[in-house]
Structure 1
Amino acid sequence: MKLRIRPLAAAVHCSLLFALPGLAAAQDAPARSTPTTLDSVQVTGTRIKKAEMEGQVPVHALTREDIERSGLTSIGDVLQELTGSGSALNTRFNSSGNFGFSPNGDGVGAGSAQVDLRHLGPKRVLVLVDGVRWVNESSASGVGAATDLNTIPLAIVERIEVLEDGASSLYGSDAIAGVVNIITRRAFDGGQVTLNYGEYGEGDGTTQGVDLAWGYTTDRSSLFLGASHTDQDPVYSRTREQASFPTPGTGLTFGSSGTPNGRFIFIAPTPSTACPLTDHDDNPATPPVAFCNITTPNGSSFPNGVSYPDDFIGFTTANRFNFAQYNLLVTPSRRTGVFGQFRFDLSDGLQWYAKALANRRESVNQAAPEPIFLGPDAGTGNPLADNIFISRLNPYNPFGFDLDSADNLIMIGRRPVEGGARVFEQEVDTRYLATGLSGSFADARWFWDVNAAWSENEAEQTNYGSYNIYNIALALGDPAACAAVAGCVPLNIFGGPGTITAPMLAWIQPVVRDRSKNRLMLASANLSGDLFELPAGALAFAAGYEYRKYEGSYSPDPLTVRGHYNGVPSLPTSGEYDVNEVFVELDVPILADSAFGQKLNLNLAGRYSDYSTFGGEFTPKYGLRWQVTDEFLLRTTFAEGFRAPAIGELFGSAARADLQISDPCSIGLGGTPPRGSASNCAALGVPTGYQQANSQISVTTGGNPDLEPERSRSFSAGFVWSPGFASGASWSDRLDFEVTFYRHDLEGAIQAIDAQTQLDLCVATLEAQYCDGITRASTGGINGFNNRLVNLGYIKTDGWDVDLSWALPETAAGRFRIAWQNTFVTRYEAVGAGGTRQPRAPGIEVNDSAIPEWTSTATLDWRQGNWNASWSLRHVDELSEDCGDAVAFPVCSDPATGTNTLAATTYHDVQLGYRFGWMKGLQLTAGLNNVFDEDPPICLSCSLNGYDPSTYDIPGGRFWYLRADLKF
């Protein structure tokens, strides 16, 4: 690959442009890393062990003190409070039962906690532990492509370094949006016991835990052992008024038509008061029919049989079901982990280490009792439900005639509350073993290490409260056929709540178990040091080799594989691949102690990756670090990156969905001509005069073994300024500013094309990328539709990080420190198939996620003797969303434009602590988050509970906590 001179020249030019504005705008900026004199160190964002490499790239470091100040007990929750974080799964996502089986094969990640940087998605963030890759999650419903941070106990963490810059050249795939490097506790003498307890002001959502740590350090060895247990209780939607409806402020309008009393839509042989003559298809060529859209009154029950039409009424909004009463705002989670690492100096300059971790997460999601939808308009994706036949001989059928999907039945929706809520229990086990050697030679000017690691994440999900659609179909059909099968009893879906008996439930309600596994094995070797001296200093060098093997599998319950599961159908997935990689990094000193500044260095890096699935990929990175003075540092980087398709994306087996799709080659119901080009339709085999018989088309989704990697380009430029006049002054001990501009361009994003869009583009272009997988019968009708993952579209985003850190001198009033981090997103563009612009953008809330134009966190820290305290502010800028069908409700703030405003939200957190001189120290801490009881703004477009659980504090309300930390 040719050296890209133009981006490098642009980077140099940008650095020069930043110098004067940076000095002038210092009052608006902050700093995370500043030039210091250190021994040789390894920092995230470079493989070279050298003190001067610190500050080469923007790295945000969270110390253990920062973590403890948050009052949080999950790494995922801590990272989601970073201003550069986007929307990601956490324990506030009550996901199971509400999200379908995704085409990328990763499942729903129920109970996990992920991290998203720059709003590019969790699968584009690389998670390391002590600089080594961590295994991806297995969600029990698929093979994940992101890391579950709940697999790493917070108690073993010394600090977290977050690189918000593309780094594929240094670390390989997945580092498009950045890198999270979790550094474990190592040098530790003595023991430590930490107890914590917290709950919401309403008395629920209790979180409690205990952390144990013990270690010793000698001249030649060190040992650290840690154990952690955290127990988080649920918070139910029904306990919070704003979350107790399907969409806050709209009552039952957006409730479900699958109700305990049932909804019955069919064509009757004769009209009645409940089923008047209706021109239901708007086709003048067909006469009106007796059209039924009926139910029984709310709460009514007919254990002795319901009478048609006397006991039925027309179905209206008032008859819809409030499923939110069963949802969770905070999902329960129990996490237990043990960790140990041992290091031993075999000789001067040679050290051996070994690490081991075992972690279990037990979590629960809950959804409303599972609805049973039957008939061609049910859209379940299961032919047993869509093609249902309900016999007139069924003893509970009140209508006296067959209900046949091929003739008169349109849809039935019945929610058996007798079967209880859907409960999804996850058990996730993570195991990790690692060992290696490290050393130095040539008077500790050269460093090397070799490493091997094995890690596995295995999950099982048990689902209570779902149904067997095969058994349902048998129980609704001919009673004689049912009687011939052991255990089958006729099913009553007509009589209202309480009429589905225990024997009926025993026949139709199974326990469903799904399993998945992700495994990562790797070996690596690295070397770094100074090659030779140049006029401006030593040419620093790092190189290495890494081998990785990935294995993953998903095994749905046999009931699901057979197609008998009432929920979303899916098939097993399994696959593996390996990769061999080599990298090299050079730090070239260009100038030193000259008229142009103290030091100017050029950083060059490149990595070649050879994948068994798609071949080779080379990613370069270029950087400049210009130490203008002791006080002022300029830096810039340009990098190319990639993300290799994950196992689920490559090998995910077909899942099916029955979708409403309008064929552009079909005559309209009113006789209107086809929308599509006549010549193109003819080329696809569609005859003149073809009319689509059924707009509900079965679409299969799943992995694609021919996927190419996603490719990206990342650019950053900025400065760090530590003004001398603010160092050691009467009003300031140290003042640091840091400003960084970032830009990420991603091409070939892996996603499935919207099925309707795919069909429209196929007819419009006849291109194979859209038409492959769509087949038609001789009549012209679509008889096959394969909607697999492809590389399409692009994402472009840019913005600014502006940070400040100010340490004040110690006075009689104590020592104060202020830290202020800000992220401004100035652009986010996502374009899908055919150039279709996606709705995500700065300042917009859509699809349960948001991209605020400005997020900010400010902390005032105080210490005086044995006392310490902090006050933190977390700010989310105003957002807007499309009101959709809720435009007619007062909760839609601007019905004229059809948009709703989510007001700017600021949370205040306080903490107070005191340290006793007992043993090695007893620290007692009390804290209160969301001091002013700020509720999250109502979100009309959010699918669960009417809130965005990844942008705001859910469930709202104050959360208080206590912590005791004893060292001995």
Structure 2
Amino acid sequence: MKPSRRHVLAKAIQLSLLVALPGVAAAQDAAPAKDPTTLDSVQVTGTRIKKAEIESQVPVQTLSRDDIERTGLTSLGDIVQELTGAGSALNTKFNSSGNFGFSPNGDGIGAGSAQVDLRHLGPKRVLVLVDGMRWVNESSASGVGAATDLNTIPLAIVERIEVLEDGASSLYGSDAIAGVVNIITRRNFDGGQISLNYGQYGKGDGELQGVDLAWGYNTDRANLFLGLSYVDQDPVFSRDRKVARVPVPGLGVETGSSATPNGRFIFTDPRCPAVDSDDDPSTPPVNMCNITTPNGSSFPNGVRFPQDFIPFGGANRYNFAAENMLLTPSKRTGAFGQFRYHFSDNVQGYVKALYNRRESVNQAAPEPIFLGLDAGTGNPWSERITISRLNPYNPFGIDLTSQGANPNLITLARRPVEGGPRIFEQQVDTQYVAGGLEGSFDAGDRTFFWDVNAAYSRNKADQTNRGSYNIRNINIALGDPAVCAATPGCVPLNLFGGPGTITPQMLSWISPVIRDRSEQKLKTFTANFSGDLFNLWAGPLSFAAGYEYRKYEGSYSPDPITVAGYYNGTQSLPTRGTYDVNEAYVELNLPLIKEGSFGKSLDLSLAGRYSDYSTFGGQFTPKYGLRWQVADEFLLRTTYAEGFRAPSIGELYGSASRADLQLSDPCLTSITGAPPTGNRANCAALGVPAGAAQANSQISVQTGGNADLEPETARSFTAGFVYSPAWAADSAWSDKFDFEVTYYRHSLEGAVQAIDAQTQLNLCVQTLDPLYCNGITRSSVGGISSFENKLTNLGSIKTSGWDVDFFWTLPETSIGQFKLAWQNTWVTQYDAVGAAGQRQPRRPGVEVNDSAIPEWSSNATLSWKRNAWTGSWTVRHISELTETCQASALESPYCDNSVTGANKLSPTTYHDIQLGYHFELLKGLQVTGGVNNLFDKDPPVCLSCSLNGYDASTYDIPGGRFFYVRADLRF
């Protein structure tokens, strides 16, 4: 269909709104002074029909305010990432900027953000709503993201979280492929509350401080809620945890970087020793130096060749891991207000507004400088360079050049520790304002509900980068001194001495302050109408219908130095895009059977949505569901839904973004000396000379947008039951017992994703197919100089599994009352296949690319209450995982080379405890203390994970016993 020029999109998203499940409302939230007669009829996440009987039609998991506070966590993202159905997603345990971009997807690095992934389908396939309205996508100053940053929503304003674990595009439109997270804000609140939070890790770091203020006022016709929130999280440094102190756990610095404070110099020269680079006797040896200055030495007066140099070996490499962070610092300040006014018993209006600021920091080791044929940066200023023999610090007396007919400079690698670590500071400002009208009216004996809503939201991020370098200025400062002298500000640069030989004047010339910006805006308008149309043989035919309009705007503005290609890394260009959507939907609930010999009731639900996008045209998505109430205590339910996800602005229009990934080049000797694994003839055809070695295991991979992308399409199926046996109710051993089982299956076609980089590299070497090799270029000495990993509509992703949940409330006794909630997810299938049939490495029980798909995840919480005392014990379990050992990690004691060449990540169980007491002070003072990871369980070692020796998206940080205390005073 030809895209429309103008789109006035619509939908009616009043999605989640308030499902009054037992125990959902926080105890301190008071009812409004006047309860309108019809406006608060039940509407649940997963349907837009306000009807109490269908609240269990789809699998919805609800986290109440009590559940949230029981976690001891202060980040909304951290809480939802602990759900058993959640997958790997960014959080503050990822020290992202400057090191890696997590699964490269062309929309930047969400540094400092916290995202949510459901069913391991990726954060961009989860729709996040606040009070049923879409939330704006993240903005982290490195691209135009496709996911939502939950750190833009203060946890203090949340009343409950509803998680729909089912595809829901027919109800809510694009992005709801894997499910929906609907965040319900606190509304009906009377009086004031101040909450103080303090926490710290057992090793004395990672201090957390927080203050929340809440105040509410109710009259017969109005209610007002105001909230303020402040959270200050201090960092935890990698050097303070054993597993994170070295690049590959179990090994020393031999797996570190060849860019060292003393420098590594690889060049050809007749004065260098002859090296036989291959096994071909007809090939003459090459006179090649591979040298460095002695570790620990400093040469402020210059160095001499060859007296002051030694051969470069594994012991000379640089341990970059110690400079990283395990937990990144984050300050979040938020203000929220909501006012509702009842014009009559049947009409009310509301306005709400939010402002949130996140200030976060990432830190990486001092930035390395790579120059020469094998620089591998993809930047011409570093790969085409001449270091003049006239440079006053050049000890070799010759031009070192990677240009011309006879280049001799293979690699110069120097890490200027004089410039300090790389610091990336983000400031993210989020603004949100919304208003609307809600009402009901009677027509005959039926009641109809309506609402209209409008919202505007904006995320704006600024990132300041200190400690990076201007590669153009480095090029000039190493070249002809006469050119440098004629260039204002230029000072000849010394990369040849040891630490301390780069002076402040040199740093001033090569060290810019880099400032990047990004912004996203979302404008929405929705209108919804629902009620009962007429009576059928088994009951009323209920319906909901509506319209939605959305407009997306996004931009990324990198620093002019980056745009010009002067940044010591990948050139990045600005990104800007906009599109809008018009949508209309209808939902029907058709009763088929009323109470009789076939059970209590059988209902058929039908839903359909038509979406018209300015970028690609129209899309229709249907959904079908059956709900069979066999008996009061037994419910069967099933759904089938089709869905889609439209490519985001970043995916469509994004400029190249860089991710530094841990890759093993099959054509090169590994950094630990392991021989190449690739076909020798194929490697030679790719231009790799025999004997070539991989200088570093981190390879820069570029991913960019693709304007030809099509929408992803999906099919989702769920089937299950809810059993609440009467024999387990009001008995001597049980007040209530609920048992829920859900089978899920998602099938995604045309997934917008880049092929796994290691898979692409392996297939290129195996097949020489241009499909895989185009975009991978090598230098004349065999190393990868650029790696383009473009976004495409990948073949398919298929995943399935089971959710099995138990809820048991025990009778109250003299020692109090206990409740047990035990939730489990088993992933039985996960298959991702590229468009040409390439099998991607992710599957159940496997760790790959800093993410895991555990076959079994389980959370069990035993809560207790006796008079003024409360307590809980939570057990979180993650089943065993396996990862393939890369060449750089084969010598690690964690890698079982003799059998499989794999590392087993053992099953991991965490224990969290909490104890609280309620004092009768003013309206009540609740003091609560707890310990997360009580037994100080370390995560299993991950050899392929990018930075800190473990998977930060799946496990708690090493040395992670966390103590906290919270005081809540009502007045």
The aligned counterpart of 2:795 is 793
Contact preservation (8 Å) 1:103, 1:701: yes
SS of the residue 2:359 aligns to? strand
> What is the alpha-carbon distance in structure 1 between the residues aligned to residue 758 and residue 806 of structure 2?
49
SS for the counterpart of 1:597 is coil
Q: Which residue of 1 aligns with 2:66?
A: 65
Change (3 A) 1:361 1:48: same
Distance 2:82 2:766 in 1: 45
2:194 counterpart letter in structure 1: V
Structure 1 equivalent of residue 18 of structure 2: none
In structure 2, which of residues 819, 824, 827 is the aligned counterpart of residue 825 of structure 1?
Answer: 827
Secondary structure, aligned partner of 2:255 = coil
1:877 matched residue in structure 2? 879
Q: Give the alignment partner of residue 913 of structure 1, picking from 905, 910, 916.
A: 916
Counterpart residue number, 1:188: 189
Given candidates 304, 322, 336, the residue that maps to 1:307 is: 304
SS of the aligned residue for 2:600 comes to strand
Matches within 5 A, 1:14-163: 40-99=41-100, 104-163=105-164
| Paired position in structure 2 for 1:262 | 263
Structure 1 residues 778-817: aligned runs within 5 Å: 788-817=790-819
Residue in structure 2 matched with residue 486 of structure 1 by the alignment = 488
TM norm structure 2 = 0.89
For the 8 Å contact 1:48–1:528, the answer to whether it is kept is: yes
Moved more, 884-893 or 792-801: 884-893
In structure 2, the CA distance between the partners of 1:189 and 1:656, relative to structure 1 (3 Å rule), is closer
**Does structure 1 conserve the Cα–Cα contact (< 8 Å) formed by 2:589 and 2:605?**
yes
Determine helix, strand or coil for the equivalent of 1:715. Answer: strand
For the 8 Å contact 1:101–1:107, the answer to whether it is kept is no
Unaligned runs of 5+ in 1: 2-31, 664-668, 677-688, 777-781
Give the Cα separation in 1 of the matches to 2:762 and 2:208.
51
Q: Which of 377, 386, 390 is matched with 1:389 structurally?
A: 386
Uncovered stretches (5+) of structure 2, i.e. residues with no partner = 2-20, 25-37, 668-675, 779-783
Tell me if the contact between 2:376 and 2:786 (Cα under 8 Å) persists in the aligned partners: no
Q: Kindly report which structure 2 residues correspond to 1:496-645, keeping only aligned pairs within 5 A, or say none.
A: 496-645=498-647
Deviations 1:791-826 (A, max 9, x none): 122111100000000001111111111110000111
2:374–2:785: 8 Å Cα contact kept in structure 1? no
1:958 deviates by: 1.2
The Cα of 1:356 is off from its aligned counterpart by: 0.2
Q: Does residue 928 in structure 1 map to residue 931 in structure 2?
A: yes
Q: Which amino acid aligns with 2:712?
A: E
Deviation larger for 419-428 or 892-901? 892-901
Give the equivalent residue in structure 1 for 2:204. Answer: 203
Q: Give CA deviations for 1:381-434 in whole Å, capped at 9, x if unaligned.
A: 101001111011101000111101131111111000000000000000000000
The amino acid that maps onto 1:388 is I
1:749-788 correspondence to structure 2 within 5 Å: 749-753=751-755, 788=790
Aligned counterparts of 1:717 and 1:603: Cα–Cα separation in 2: 14
Distance 1:674 1:302, change over 3 A: closer
- Who is 1:246 aligned against? 247
Q: For the structure 1 residues 775 and 279, does the alpha-carbon distance in structure 2 shift closer, same or farther, using more than 3 Å as the test?
A: closer
Match of 1:431? 431
What SS is found at the alignment partner of 1:628?
Answer: strand
Q: Is the 8 A contact 1:84 1:118 kept in 2?
A: yes
Q: 1:442 is paired with a residue of what secondary structure?
A: strand
Q: Is the 8 A contact 1:100 1:568 kept in 2?
A: no
Residues 852, 752 of structure 1: alpha-carbon distance in 2 compared, 3 angstrom cutoff: closer
1:376 has 2:365 as partner: no
Letter in 2 for 1:346: F
SS in 1 for 2:302: coil
Does structure 2 retain, via aligned residues, the 8 Å contact 1:265–1:410?
yes
Shift of 1:253: 2.4
Q: Any idea what SS the aligned residue of 1:418 has?
A: helix
| Count of paired positions | 908
Q: What value does the CA root-mean-square deviation take over the aligned residues?
A: 2.9
Compared CA separation, residues 772 and 498, structure 1 to 2 (3 A): closer
Cα contact 1:841–1:851 (8 A) shared by 2: yes
Gap change, CA 1:131 and 1:690, over 3 Å in 2: closer
Map Cα deviations across residues 160-199 of structure 1 (whole Å, 9 max, x no partner). 0000100000000000110000000000100000001000
1:468 counterpart letter in structure 2: N
Distance 1:179 1:517 in 2: 24
Evaluate the alpha carbon distance shift between residue 114 and residue 742 of structure 1 in structure 2; reply closer, same or farther with a 3 A threshold: same
- The Cα of 1:881 is off from its aligned counterpart by 1.0
- Give the Cα separation in 2 of the matches to 1:356 and 1:67: 23
Q: Using the alignment, how far apart are the partners of 2:611 and 2:592 within structure 1?
A: 29
Alpha-carbon contact 1:428-1:459 (below 8 Å) kept: yes
Contact 1:380–1:657, Cα closer than 8 Å, also in 2: no
Contact 2:528/2:545 (8 A) holds in 1: yes
Residue of structure 2 in register with 1:10 after alignment: none
Residue equivalent to 1:353: 350
Deviations 1:844-863 (A, max 9, x none): 11111111111111111110
Q: Which moved more, 1:526-535 or 1:245-254?
A: 245-254
Deviates more, 1:956-965 or 1:571-580: 956-965
State the match for 2:7 in structure 1.
none
- Relative to structure 1, the CA distance from residue 757 to residue 64 in structure 2 (aligned partners, 3 Å threshold; closer, same or farther) is closer
Contact 2:377–2:786 at 8 Å: present in 1 too?
Answer: no
Alpha-carbon displacement from aligned partner over 1:345-379 (angstroms, at most 9, x marks no partner): 11231111001000000000000000001111110
In 2, are the aligned partners of 1:466 and 1:567 still within 8 Å (CA)? no
* Alpha-carbon distance change, 699 to 93 in structure 1, aligned in 2, over 3 angstroms: closer
The alpha-carbon distance between structure 1 residues 840 and 103, as it changes in their structure 2 partners (threshold 3 A), is closer
CA contact (8 A) 2:851 2:953 kept: yes
CA–CA distance in structure 2, aligned partners of residues 848 and 228 of structure 1: 32
Query: CA 1:937 to 1:661, structure 2 compared with 1: closer, same or farther past 3 Å?
Result: closer
Partner of 1:726: 728
Instruction: Give the stretch that moved more between structures: 765-774 or 223-232.
Output: 765-774
Question: 1-side partners of 2:131 and 2:317: how far apart?
Answer: 53
Aligned residue in 2 for 1:6: none
The answer on whether the counterparts of 2:883 and 2:903 sit within 8 Å (CA) in structure 1 is yes
* 1:231–1:334 Cα contact (<8 Å) kept: yes
Looking at structure 2, the residues matched to 251 and 775 of structure 1 have their Cα atoms a distance apart, in angstroms, of 31
CA contact (8 A) 2:173 2:611 kept: yes
Q: Map of 1:816-965 to 2, 5 A cutoff?
A: 816-885=818-887, 886-893=889-896, 895-965=898-968
Identity of aligned residues (%): 71
Kindly indicate whether the alpha-carbon contact (under 8 Å) linking 2:469 and 2:568 is maintained by their aligned counterparts in 1: yes
Query: Helix, strand or coil: the match of 2:836?
Result: helix
Compared CA separation, residues 70 and 673, structure 1 to 2 (3 A): closer
Amino acid of the residue matched to residue 937 of structure 1?
Answer: P
Partner of 1:653: 655
Q: Tell me if 1:321 matches 2:322.
A: no
> Could you tell me whether the CA contact under 8 Å between 1:280 and 1:291 is conserved in 2?
no
